[in-house]
A and B are shown apart, each in its own frame.
Chain A
Amino acid sequence: MKNRKTLLAGLCGVSLLLAACGTSGSDSKAGSAPGAQGFTPPKLNALTQLGQPEGQLNVLAWPGYAENGQNDAKVNWVTPFEQQTGCKVNVKPFGTSDEAVTLMKTGQYDVVSASGDASLRLVASGDVEPVNTALVPNYNDIYPFLKNKSWNSVNNVAYGIPHGWGANVLAYRTDKVQPEPTSWSPMFDEKSQFKGKVIAYDSPIYIADAALYLMAHQPDLGIKNPYALDDKQFKAATDLLKKQRPLVEEYWSDYLKETQSLKSGDGVIGTAWQVTVNLAKSEGAPVAATVPSEGATGWSDTWMVSAKSQHKTCAYKWMDYITSPKVNAQVAEYFGEAPANSKACAEFKDKSLCDTYHANDAAYAAKIQYWTTPIPQCLDGRTDVKCKDYGDWTRAWTEIKG
């Protein structure tokens, strides 16, 4: 019931913004006529037709998205792509969306698996260009609830191909944390019994996790969307994180560092990705994960093409390949997320996982608060207040860490 309300509010917000901005669209002065997301993207054209593969492709990806057998000889879907297309793939993994945005500015990468908090920034700065979905046959099988979303399109122009989505889960050591946590409280409560054993994500976007917690625990703040925080709400969220700091053992941006912390028991509870949990488990650590009652933040990732790419045919071939049912299933199963391709579930080795990740469940997908870049225009549709933008979030993050 409550979630439906949130969803409704979110939908109203988006439609309000669309309505509000639609009227001022005719003013052509650059920068003064924001689109649906509060900005006008630079004019760039999508590729009209594929050419000959250029023989090379530089991929900027979340760890686990473009495995070439280096981490695990059995996990390799890059080599088959190279054999099929003749595009030699160089993979560069990144740890946070901010890192991805910075790296994309160098123009050295052809494609990127951008989460919602990175994608709009890449679109706004002209680092990525619109994608001609007609050149990506597998786009037809992508779940409709992932297409033309506010984080992968602007004014109904697609800027990428959805890849997969999932929640930032609560990971914990089953031998040290009992009973199974059902709330984020052990991570935020000042009197938490896990003082000095908490692991938190090291990125300004983590402020949204605190806001999400406040949505449930301090409803009088009126937070509707953890990425749309006015002064008062923002202060409450950052104060909560400052109070959390003494509980924190360390902040992680490298998922391997967190895996090691959970394995050694230096940290016993923390916000994590499913892949971290799977990895720690596979190395023998008693670790489990849950989505607590307050819900979770999460990601919905999109493959995007660099505007400066010299290897666009290879890039399109990659986007089609990586979202094909079989490969999409492999990636989703390895990383621990819901695939974007509706036919991927049939290809899973462990068929139960598709239910675990709620792959077919549009309602569940709507429940996750996907990473989005905070901008001054409140994303929840309020027009009477100004929201804190990502610059404010970044500065606050330095302050929180102290």
Chain B
Amino acid sequence: MTAVSSPSHRISAFFHRKPQLRLGLLLTAPMLWLGLAYLGALAALFITAFWSTDVFTGKVVTDWSFDNFVTLFSDSVYRTITFRTVGIALLVTVIDAVIAFPMAFAMAKLASPKAQRVLVIMVMTPLWASYLVKAYAWRTLLSGNGVLNWLLDPLGLSAPGYGVTATVITLSYLWLPYMILPIYAGLERLPVSLVDASGDLGAKSFRTFRSVILPLTFPAIVAGSIFTFSLSLGDYIAVKIVGGTSQMLGNVVYDNIGAANNLPFAATVATVPVVIMLVYLAAVRRTGALDNL
């Protein structure tokens, strides 16, 4: 004869027999949070992209249409801006990788442990300063009578002035720490014995770099590139400060909300960097870079 079990006992016994259901319920709360706050906001954005705005009163009209997307794809100016933005983001990423690698290498492999800690802090200090101050500092540096011109003048050169070049320089400066730190972390994990072994087997330093160090730290570089690429892709402040007449995708989003009060079209434009990032992430997933984040 079986004892009559209490209801709570019965429930726990029920979940004991169904581990998947148990797990599902446990995950509900965090999934709801993620779903509502993060994906929900994204979905709302995407839905808005199919609406339109009464241009005069600025009220959102909830009539469904593809008009915004048609404008986005048919107007050549948005294509130009997209290509310019992606170009700037790629260039910034490459420049940062080229500058960051030797710096990270020196930090991880050449510096003493004590110096390492100091160097990491030094790399991080700019992150603690305000973005705006740094961008405006570059505006002053790049100005016609700024320091850069003063330095370049004796060489017969001049500063690039405000424009795409200035934007690339400023963004490269702003995001450099985001590239150095992942590469530094990747190089730290690289055993010195592998480099030594490569040398013992007769490889010159460049060969060692190409065949041993680079393949092993490549995922770390890609991890850094996700930061520099996505941050550049979404930026609109630096280009507003030093970009002269040029604009990026972020400016179009900002102008459509801030100036034109056209939230639907801004949402349409905002889906472009989201899609680009999804493609980028899908591409880098294979390198194992996502495990390095």
Residues of A within 8 A of B (CB): 39, 96, 98-99, 101-102, 105, 120-121, 124-126, 196, 203-204, 245, 248-251, 257, 260, 264-266, 373, 375, 389-392, 394-395, 397-399, 401-402
Q: 10 A-B residue contacts at CB 8 Å? A: A102-B257, A102-B261, A105-B261, A249-B245, A266-B143, A390-B55, A394-B256, A394-B259, A401-B246, A402-B77
Contact of B55 among A96, A99, A394 (CB under 8 A): A394
Q: For B241, list chain A residues within 8 Å (CB).
A: 257
Considering the complex, give the chain B residue whose CB is closest to the CB of A254. B240
Bound-complex Cα distance A96 to B247 (A): 18
Check B128 for interface membership: any CB of A closer than 8 A.
no
Check B161 for interface membership: any CB of A closer than 8 A.
yes
- The answer to whether B244 and A250 have CB atoms under 8 Å apart is yes
Bound-complex Cα distance A311 to B56 (A): 27
- The answer to whether B162 and A204 have CB atoms under 8 Å apart is no
Least CB distance from A44 to B in Å reads 14
- The answer to whether A125 and B255 have CB atoms under 8 Å apart is no
Q: For B71, list chain A residues within 8 Å (CB).
A: 395
Least CB distance from B83 to A in Å reads 12
Least CB distance from B143 to A in Å reads 5
- The answer to whether A245 and B260 have CB atoms under 8 Å apart is no
- The answer to whether B77 and A121 have CB atoms under 8 Å apart is no
Considering the complex, give the chain A residue whose CB is closest to the CB of B55. A391
Check B57 for interface membership: any CB of A closer than 8 A.
yes
The listed residue with most A CB atoms (<10 A of its CB), out of B243, B244, B261, B262, is B261
Bound-complex Cα distance A394 to B55 (A): 9
- The answer to whether B245 and A250 have CB atoms under 8 Å apart is yes
Check B63 for interface membership: any CB of A closer than 8 A.
no
Chain B 255-271 per-residue mask, 1 if CB under 8 angstroms from chain A, else 0: 11111111000000000
Bound-complex Cα distance A268 to B280 (A): 43
* Other A-B pairs beyond A266-B161, A401-B247, 20, CB < 8 Å: A98-B258, A102-B259, A121-B56, A125-B57, A125-B58, A125-B59, A126-B57, A248-B244, A250-B245, A251-B245, A264-B143, A266-B144, A375-B56, A391-B53, A391-B260, A391-B262, A395-B71, A395-B75, A398-B256, A401-B245
Q: For A120, list chain B residues within 8 Å (CB).
A: 56
Considering the complex, give the chain A residue whose CB is closest to the CB of B58. A125
Contact of A101 among B245, B252, B261 (CB under 8 A): B261
Bound-complex Cα distance A156 to B161 (A): 51
Q: For A402, list chain B residues within 8 Å (CB).
A: 77, 80-81, 245-247
Least CB distance from A234 to B in Å reads 15
Chain B 227-250 per-residue mask, 1 if CB under 8 angstroms from chain A, else 0: 000000000000001011111000
Least CB distance from B198 to A in Å reads 50
